[in-house]
Amino acid sequence: MRIALILAGLMLSLAAEPQEIYRWVDRDGVVHYADQPGAPDAERVPVANANEYEAPPQEYGAGETYSRPPAPLPYTSLTITQPAPDQVFFGADVNVIVAAELGGTLQSDHTLVFFLDGKRMPSEGGASVEITSLERGTHFLRATVLDQNGAPLLSSEQITFNVHQPSINSPQSPQAPPPPKPKPKPKPKPAN
């Protein structure tokens, strides 16, 4: 516990200003850290400056490096337009049309794909696809634009929709039956 407190204190002091840190073990086996060597066998601990970060260079071609920032995306948004969030579909053979709207023109080397319950849906590469043979329950849907290497560039917010299928034990219908009409109250008899 004492060592953890010492390390926490050292880390806080390192955040303020880079220093030299020394480490040594005394004759009782206790490890010490300090900014001054406390024993002849103290080792200097290499410490990285916590306030600096240098990104590794990107490699292009035959070992060449180039540090140009990534180009901005040509798309402003990606939204699922069909089905509506939390929409409910009824039936044993329900077909769900899934569609998305992309803010911008889809580039020829990019692909718009849909993920249903975390699995990529087969599509013709268009902005819509028809899903058939869905199981009963809640399903999760997301649209994503992929680059030529299959890496995601832009994703929509995930939505959910529900499929309710009739069963023999509890058949379901898309509309609830109308409430029963209230019975008229009997008229009170006049008191004599």
Beta bridge partners of 111: 146
Q: Write down the pTM of the prediction.
A: 0.51
First to last CA, the chain: 93
Instruction: Identify the structural domains of the chain with CATH numbers, from first to last.
Output: 2-45 (no CATH), 78-164 (2.60.40.10)
Task: Concatenate the DSSP letters of all residues of 90-102 into one string.
Answer: ESTT--EEEEEEE
More confident residue, 17 or 158: 158
pLDDT tens sequence across 156-184: 899 999 888 766 665 555 555 566 777 77
pLDDT tens sequence across 43-82: 887 765 545 555 555 555 555 555 556 667 788 888 999 9
